Amino acid sequence: MSEKRTELEQLGEFGLIDHLTEKFENKQSSTSTGIGDDSAVISHSKDESMLISTDMLIEGVHFNLMYMPLKHLGYKAIAVNVSDICAMNGVAEQITVSIAVSSRFPVEALEELYDGIRAACDTFNVDLVGGDTTSSLSGLMISVTAVGRAKNDVITYRSGAKEHDLLVATGDLGGAYVGLQLLEREKQVFEANAAIQPDLDGHDYILQRQLKPEARIDVIKFLKELDVVPTSMIDISDGLASEIFHICKSSDVGCKIYDEKIPIDTETSMTAIDFNLNPITCALNGGEDYELLFTISQDDFEKIKGNPHMTVIGHITDKAAGKYLIDKQGAAIELQAQGWNHFEE
């Protein structure tokens, strides 16, 4: 090993991946798209391709078992991977699940985890086809790989957004983050005094957004039925702002989004305000909503207009015009990508 020591947080998560993989060259003709989008694309025919995506969840980094029940954790681990296949406009069909687990967990705990995995397999219509089970020295780690499929003419990359395209978000945003704030607060109350029961009443929606996120397989179906092929797409795992940055960078464009257009649920807004948080900031930087963000040609606007699952939040501009959030007074605020950097947590 060389004597130089560069700390991981100096590069950040995305910089680190870029740095470590920059020397790799693809050799297989079947490798259509490698690193850099939500899924890899492997093509063996002119008609359709396989999509491969993988994610790792680590106890203490991505989840805390003090408030994340194992069944929900299993469900979420599958949902986030299926979401990556959705983000390519594909349909997930298989998953593999590898777990490393310390002897602190009994078999019954893993049964709960797998009950959640099975519930997700049923909801998202995917088959568990493989995996690995091993011991760990501490804690629980889950690594999931999702395998999906899409016709080549509908696969949607991050890189296809064009000037004047409309930016569309599905569902509503910020709920998962506000739900996490609530769980963190109740955990601290519990740690200070174990006799106090958690006060989670009336927050079902944001708790569900954090604990049991759904992959938007329904949106992929709607797009097909509506005959809309987005020009670019990504799933919102790290927060709207970060995902906008990915699309703009990959597509070499800029954008304008309007804060009053960003879809935020009332429960999310009210709870955010209780926590002295700006709901728009929660939507922009919160992450873990697993909604989809995509761009469409203006010609397709009539097809999605009025669809309750899709909200136009802005449009794509020339790259030189930058990336801006326009507030209710018309002021333009430059967007900041504040997605999660796990190495700084």
Number of residues that bind its own copies (CB under 8 A): 86
CB of 91 to its own copies, least distance (A): 10
Task: Give yes or no for residue 82 binding its own copies (CB under 8 A).
Answer: no
CB of 5 to its own copies, least distance (A): 4
| Number of Cβ atoms within 10 Å of the Cβ of 46 | 8
- The single residue among 100, 140, 169, 182 that binds its own copies, judged by CB under 8 A, is 100
Among the listed ranges 139-147, 156-164, 168-176, 205-213, the one in contact with its own copies (CB under 8 A) is 139-147
Q: How far apart are CA 275 and CA 175, in angstroms?
A: 13
Task: Give yes or no for residue 130 binding its own copies (CB under 8 A).
Answer: yes
Q: How far apart are CA 20 and CA 233, in angstroms?
A: 25
What distances in angstroms separate CA 327 from CA 66, 119, 198, one per listed residue?
A: 38, 41, 36
Q: Nearer Cβ to its own copies, position 1 or 320?
A: 1
- The single residue among 43, 123, 139, 270 that binds its own copies, judged by CB under 8 A, is 139
Residue 38 DSSP class: S
Pairing of strands 140-151, 48-58: antiparallel
- The single residue among 43, 58, 162, 307 that binds its own copies, judged by CB under 8 A, is 58
What distances in angstroms separate CA 132 from CA 79, 141, 330, one per listed residue?
A: 19, 11, 53
CB of 143 to its own copies, least distance (A): 4
Write out the binding residues for its own copies, residues 198-237 only, by CB under 8 A: none
Task: Give yes or no for residue 13 binding its own copies (CB under 8 A).
Answer: yes
Task: Give yes or no for residue 54 binding its own copies (CB under 8 A).
Answer: yes
Q: What is the DSSP string of 234-266?
A: EEESS-HHHHHHHHHHHHT-EEEEEGGGS---H
- The single residue among 1, 192, 195, 320 that binds its own copies, judged by CB under 8 A, is 1
Write out the binding residues for its own copies, residues 158-177 only, by CB under 8 A: none
Task: Give yes or no for residue 137 binding its own copies (CB under 8 A).
Answer: yes
Q: Which helix (H) or strand (E) holds 40?
A: strand 40-43
Q: Nearer Cβ to its own copies, position 26 or 336?
A: 26
Pairing of strands 310-317, 332-334: unpaired
